[in-house]
Amino acid sequence: MTFNAYKLFNRTEFEALGVPSRTLHVNLENVGVKDVLVTIGNELEITYEGEFLIVNFAGKNPNSKNGFAVWEDENGDVYLGIQEPEGEA
């Protein structure tokens, strides 16, 4: 499985906003402008194209589901991964 990676935001900067939820309008290279809903409560979650993904869910980093993945790097940057179609990797 190969994913194209897109940086969405930095966790520390998002937490500093003091809001529980925000829709980000991100320009994903070769995909276009998309909405990503970021929610923080007990966990940090994103919703993209109807898929609900929890960052570091059950210790999984990356956490992947149905062709999408989300992960956080050592700097607190959160990324979205979109699986490449078979044969394009």
What's the pLDDT tens digit per position in 7-52?
Answer: 999 999 999 999 999 999 999 998 999 999 999 989 999 999 999 9
| pTM of this prediction exceeds 0.95 | no
The pLDDT, as a whole number, for residue 2 is 87
Q: Are 50 and 58 in contact (CB under 8 A)?
A: no
Q: Please compute the mean of the pLDDT values over residues 56-76 and round it to a whole number.
A: 93
Residue 73 has what pLDDT?
Answer: 96
- Reported as type and span, the H/E element at residue 29 is none
List 33's β-bridge partners, or say none.
27
Q: Which of 29, 27, 26, 54 is nearest to 40 (CA)?
A: 54
